[in-house]
Amino acid sequence: MFKIARRKLLALAAASLATFAVTMPSHAADPIKVGFSMSLTGPGAPAGKQIVVALEIWRDDVNAKGGLLGRPVELTYYDDQSNPANVPGIYAKLLTVDKVDLLVGPYSTNMTAAAMPAIIQQKKMTISLLTIGVNEKFNYPGHFSMVPVGPDGVKAFSQGYFELAAAQNPKPKTVAIVAADSEFARTSADGARENAKALGFNIIYDKSYPPSTTDFAPIIRGIQATNADIVFVAAYPVDTVGIVRAANEIGYTPKMFGGTLVGLLVTPIKVQLGPLMNGIVIMESFVPAPTFNFPGLKELLTRYGELAKGQQIDPFGYGFAPFAYAAGQILATAVNETKSLDHQVLAKYIHEHKFNTVAGEIEYNKAGDWTKPRTVFTQFQGVAPGNLEQFRGVEKQVVLWPKEHATGKMIYPYAEAKK
């Protein structure tokens, strides 16, 4: 009697477990994995850490709404140490060992160029973060760039700079171009040459420096010796600090100074340099200007700011967080609308549709670039020492170009803004 009752109890338990297995949401054991490599150490870390925080916010938002295709989203990522040599192995692992379902990233032109062969070989798609000109080499339909340069590509990184210079009276005539000898900086310098020549400037200095450079005084003195009217610099965060400090120590004041100084997109670096930045004109991908107040942006940046506390990362996240979150939004929309994780299906959908994101409306052309550019050029004006809050708005970093986003006028020549 006891044995019969026991068998019935076990059978009932087994039936209950079977029912539980059927009715239990499949996503409990089967998440959708989104994979990427990210620069969490090394020169790219100030941007990479912002990107990860923003993607984690996006993941949490998606999961709060039930995930994708009824399954939760899980992020799988590794630190590439800002070294392109590490990237191919990471993407091989993501695709063949971790078997991630979707890809975003990586961050920066250098890392994305290194990742593309593995992505193409596996016939996958990705939305890379702030990458410029990579797909000109690969012409791959599965690559989408989350950077607002538009169809002009590399030229957009300097177009506003040279248009602002050309608008001055009298117009400056000569240009010096200096760039790090690495993928992004070289690409930016290529565009600068095109824009300078198109607007009738005479390039009298055009050199690169090794990425290992730590003493920039000789470089600045070399440029100073040419007596160039305007100077365009393409540099990474660590280089940016060295270049700005060297120019101030030497007292170098051409008529216009700036360029794609990526370090000046990072708030802690802005606070560190303070008044040394006054007068510098740079390209920005995203600024807290009134015309950039896109739906959902304020909420994202508020949550980002809360998570950034105590992490020793940029407290505002303007330069990178909106683009990372927007990449996630585009990916989620494509998956939900196609009801698919097939990368070719997703790529086709992204090519054919517009997306409303926290970084504004985004539409892609055949090359995977934005159809409309949204880069701006800003100038540091009246920056005070050691003041974080002055960078929350655009009062001390005035938007100059294009006209529809402008919040002020340029102080010219550069020396006037240094007073």
Nearest-CA neighbor of 254 among 231, 222, 280?
A: 231
Give the Cα separation of 66 and 368 in Å (integer): 29
> CA–CA separation, 359 vs 296, rounded Å?
9
Distance CA 20, CA 335 (A): 28
Residue 168 and residue 264 share a domain = yes
* Pair of tokens at residue 10: 């076990």
Last residue of a domain, one of 335, 363, 391: 363
What is the residue-level pLDDT of the chain in tens, covering all 419 positions?
434 444 443 343 343 333 333 333 444 559 999 999 999 999 889 889 999 999 999 999 999 999 999 999 999 999 999 999 999 999 999 999 999 999 998 998 889 999 999 999 999 999 999 887 788 889 999 999 998 988 887 888 899 999 999 999 999 999 999 999 988 899 899 999 999 999 999 999 999 999 899 999 999 999 999 999 999 999 988 899 999 999 999 999 999 999 999 899 889 999 999 999 999 999 998 999 999 999 999 999 999 999 998 888 999 999 899 999 999 999 999 999 999 999 999 999 999 999 999 999 999 999 999 999 899 999 999 999 999 999 999 999 999 999 999 999 999 999 999 98
**251 and 325 part of one domain:** no
pLDDT score at 38? 96
Q: What is the pLDDT of residue 207?
A: 97
Does residue 16 sit within a domain?
no
Q: Which domain holds residue 342?
A: 31-148+293-363
Based on the structure, what is the number of domains in the chain?
Answer: 2
At residue 192, the pLDDT reads 97
Q: Do residues 247 and 273 make contact, with C-beta atoms less than 8 angstroms apart?
A: no
Helix, strand, or coil (residue 406): coil
Using DSSP, state whether 88 is helix, strand or coil.
Answer: helix
Are 246 and 182 contained in the same domain?
yes
pLDDT at 180: 95
Say if 71 falls within a structural domain. yes
pLDDT at 409: 96
Same domain as 160, residue 138: no
Residues 39 and 161 in one domain: no
Please check whether residues 111 and 75 belong to one and the same domain. Answer: yes
Pairing of strands 354-357, 360-363: antiparallel
DSSP 178: E
Q: Which tokens sit at 417?
A: 């803004």
DSSP string for 41-91: SSTTHHHHHHHHHHHHHHHHHHHHTT-BTTB-EEEEEEE-TT-GGGHHHHH
Which tokens in the block code for residue 233? 């610099």
CA-CA distance, 25 to 14, in Å (whole number)? 18
What pLDDT is attached to residue 28? 54
Radius of gyration (Cα) for the chain, nearest Å? 24
- CA dist., res. 45 & res. 238, Å (int): 11
Domain annotation covers residue 335: yes
Q: Would 7 be classed as within a structural domain? A: no
| Residue 195 forms part of a structural domain | yes
Q: Are residues 129 and 94 in the same domain?
A: yes
Q: Read out DSSP for 351-382? A: HH-EEEETTEEEEB-TTSSBSS---EEEEE-S
| Final residue of a structural domain among 334, 363, 392 | 363
140 & 168 share domain = no
In a domain, 276, yes or no: yes
What pLDDT is stored for residue 27 in this prediction? 40
Neighbours of 229 (CB within 10 A): 21
Which token pair is 310?
A: 């105590």
Whether residue 264 is found in the same domain as residue 392: yes
111 and 215 part of one domain: no
Burial-class residue 227 by CB neighbours within 10 Å (0-12, 13-18, 19+): exposed
CB 121 within 8 A of CB 346: no
Are 205 and 226 in contact by the 8 Å Cβ rule? The answer is: yes
The answer to whether position 3 is within a domain reads no
Is 33 within 8 Å of 100 (Cβ atoms)? Answer: yes
Length of the chain: 419
Same-domain status, 38 and 136: yes
Q: How far apart are CA 139 and CA 134, in angstroms?
A: 9
Residue at 127 is within a domain: yes
Half-sphere CA count of 221, side-chain side, radius 13 A: 6
306 and 321 in a common domain? yes
CATH code for the domain in which residue 338 is found: 3.40.50.2300
